[in-house]
Chain A
Amino acid sequence: MSDSVSRKGISFVPTDEITAEAKAKIDKLVEGKKERLNKLVEDYRAGKYELQ
């Protein structure tokens, strides 16, 4: 890969509409990520990451 491509990066897209099954699996994956983000915020609000 050339330097210019490396710096620019590469984008991929699906060739077709994704199926309902794939959408459901991705949505489930995203839900897990949201829960982990919420946990970070909850920990923050509980004072776990207060400035010292």
Chain B
Amino acid sequence: MLKYILRESHDGSLFVITSLKENLFGLHFQKKDIEVRDFDDDYLQDRMVEVALVKFSIEKSHCIKSVIETCQGIFNQLISGNLKDKILYVTTETDTARSKLVERIAKNNNDKSVVRFRIQNLSGQNFYFVFNEEHTSTVEVINSLIIYFKKEYDIDLTWNAKGE
């Protein structure tokens, strides 16, 4: 794992992932008002925390595996700790370098209690939802997301038979 610096602000928590030489990536957990704008649903509003991943380094990264491991470590730490009753959500464009990075961060998780949902390719975007099923009902999340996307966007969601 790489080192990181945590910067707290009124907007949220920013983990600045660093190498010995420079800042590499920022992993931001937004906790102010985002859920109100993005999810007009009581159940989801109370729980959503938007996560943003941004590259700070202008160099081509040579330690991307370590960045992923570090981000996964931060995810696991939060979803088992301060954000154990929250739903971490990330959106990325489909089929970009950033989306592949987010996919790897969200997917590889050894904690059995961590669940990941992905809504694929809505207007070129993938939506990821990661939560701790020991503290958040999987059924309620499924129901809330299906109802919300129908109500807000008139989109009917179904399981992807091809899976992950």
Q: Which of chain A's residues have a CB closer than 8 A to the CB of B37?
A: 29, 32
**7 pairs, CB–CB < 8 Å, chain A vs chain B:** A7-B109, A10-B117, A11-B117, A13-B157, A16-B156, A22-B154, A27-B123
In angstroms, Cα B23 to Cα A48, docked, is: 12
Binary CB contact string for chain B from 90 to 116 against chain A (1 if under 8 A, 0 otherwise): 010000000000000011010011111
* Contact in complex: A14, B155 (CB < 8 Å): yes
Q: Which of chain B's residues have a CB closer than 8 A to the CB of A30?
A: 91, 123, 125
Q: Which of chain A's residues have a CB closer than 8 A to the CB of B69?
A: none
The closest CB in chain A to the CB of B38 belongs to A29
B59 within 8 A of A: no
The closest CB in chain B to the CB of A1 belongs to B138
* Contact in complex: A49, B112 (CB < 8 Å): no
The closest CB in chain B to the CB of A52 belongs to B5
Q: Which residues of B contact A (CB under 8 A)?
A: 5, 7, 14, 16, 18, 22-23, 26, 28, 30, 37-38, 50, 52, 54, 56, 91, 106-107, 109, 112-123, 125, 133, 138, 142, 145-146, 152-160, 162-164
Say yes or no: A6-B162 contact (C-beta < 8 A), given A1-B138, A13-B157, A40-B26: no
Chain A contact patch, size range: 35 or more
In angstroms, Cα B113 to Cα A27, docked, is: 32
* Contact in complex: B163, A8 (CB < 8 Å): yes
* Contact in complex: A26, B122 (CB < 8 Å): yes
In angstroms, Cα B155 to Cα A29, docked, is: 15
Other-chain contact of A33, B52, B112, B121, B157 (Cβ < 8 Å):
B52
The closest CB in chain B to the CB of A39 belongs to B11
* Contact in complex: B56, A19 (CB < 8 Å): no
